[in-house]
Amino acid sequence: MTFLLNIDVPDVGKAATFYTEAFGLTVGRRFGADFVELLGWPAPVYLLTKQA
């Protein structure tokens, strides 16, 4: 079974910076301006834009 983690954030750029600096993750793929894949944990992390 494969897991992935989706995290809704108001600003993908700021969130990607936070997660890469705080947890040592790296950007895998970018899907436009609203969707980023982060790698470096056992499961990929997907940051998705969602306004409050």
What does 1-51 look like in DSSP terms, one character per residue? ----EEEEES-HHHHHHHHHHHH--EEEEE-TTSEEEEESSSS-EEEEE--
The per-residue pLDDT for range 12-46, each reduced to its tens digit, is: 999 999 999 999 999 999 998 899 999 999 999 99
End-to-end CA distance of the chain: 32
Q: Has residue 52 got a pLDDT over 90?
A: no
Q: pTM of the entire structure?
A: 0.88
